[in-house]
Amino acid sequence: MAGVIKKGGGNNGGGALRWTLVAAAVAAGAGLTGCKTNSAESAWQLIQQQQQEQALARQKEDDADAKRRPKEPEMMLSLIAEAQRQERYFASLAYIDAYQQKFGNDARVAVLRAEALRQTGQTAMSEQAYRALLSTDQAADGWHGLGLIAGARGQFDQAADDFARAAKLSPMDARILGDLGYARLRAGDPAGARVPLGQAAELAPDNAKVLANLAVLLLVEGEPVRAQRLMDQAKLGDEARGQVLRMASDIRVQRPPMPASTSTSTSTSASVAVPVAADASTTRVSSGGGIVLPVMSPLMDGLGNGPIVR
């Protein structure tokens, strides 16, 4: 009986051992499977990370290219401005219409449109366009344009007032300051022209138009040597120099005599009527030069564009 029990106990021990070995094998297999699963997941995560990094790098390159490439509205604005620099004002109006149809109204385009209308002889529409700018951030351009229109009509007092408003809004614009000084000269106020012309000449020392206007002032004030030096600096041709001399002579004649009781150093602000020739409102269609003042045309043709009529 004891032998049977012994034999049975041996069988129990062998079974336990076998189950232990099976469990170990199963555990080992599970461990290997887990390792394979972890390796596969790690590889997939690595692939995803690399793809994300590559996508981010491509996005950065695309953003950099987009920044380097001018956007279409900016390209069209450049096209309009270039056409006007070349005095192709009728073409610029076509470009402006195309811009507004595609991108809507833009304050910068509104300024260019008002200028193109003025230069193509559409004075009423141009004046309306400039007035529309007075309530915008481009008000300085609006007042400047209105001054140009008034000057083309020979209304130099009004032109000086408009330019003064523009200069107040844009005090470092040599173009506006030069036009203000010129309008005051033509209105018979050389003393009032001195400061803006001096400012314009120092802000834009290479601007031949500004230097020519300052030379006129110096001649009016009896400083021919300094005027000659300025004309040399501006590299004015003979025709332009002759026009500077004639303009200074005209302004001296137009100045009213000073009252006997008034000091000669006191300037007059009285306006002087400037006669305008019958053909002063003609339009240079070929170049879009706008209204031509006969008194100014030789000088301004020599310099490219005049301070009042451009």
- pLDDT for 272 equals 32
Q: Which of the given ranges, 2-16, 26-40, 64-78, 88-102, has the highest pLDDT on average?
A: 88-102
**Percent of the chain whose predicted confidence (pLDDT) is above 70:** 67
Would you say 123 and 115 are in contact if contact means Cβ atoms under 8 Å apart? no
Residue 15 has pLDDT above 70, yes or no: no
Burial 91-111 (b: 16+ CB within 10 A, else e): bbbebbeebeeeeeebeebbb
Write the CA distances from 228 to 174, 200, 213, 252, 302, integer angstroms.
Answer: 22, 18, 12, 18, 17
| Cα 127 from Cα 114, distance rounded (Å) | 7
In whole angstroms, give the CA distance from residue 83 to residue 127.
Answer: 21
* Sequence-distant contacts of 120-127: CB under 8 A, at least 24 apart: 120/89, 120/90, 120/93, 120/283, 120/285, 120/288, 120/290, 121/283, 121/285, 121/290, 121/291, 123/149, 123/152, 123/291
Angle between helices 208-220 and 224-234 (to 10 degrees): 170
* CA separation for the pair 296, 300 (Å, rounded): 6
Of 289 and 149, the structure prediction assigns the larger pLDDT to 149
Residue 156, pLDDT above cutoff 90: yes
Digit-coded pLDDT (tens) for 55-102: 888 887 777 666 655 588 888 889 999 999 999 999 999 999 999 999
Could you give all domains of the chain from N- to C-terminal order, each with its CATH number?
72-255+271-303 (1.25.40.10)
Band of residue 22 on the pLDDT scale cut at 50, 70, 90: low
Q: Is the dihedral of CA 123, 129, 132, 133 positive or negative?
A: negative
User: What integer pLDDT is reported at residue 254 of this predicted model?
Assistant: 74
Q: What is the pTM of this model?
A: 0.61
pLDDT in tens, 173-198: 999 999 999 999 999 899 999 999 99
| More confident: 82 or 47 | 82
Read off the pLDDT band of 32 (50, 70, 90): low
Per the model's pLDDT, the better-predicted residue between 122 and 307 turns out to be 122
In this predicted model, which residue has the larger pLDDT, 276 or 167? 167
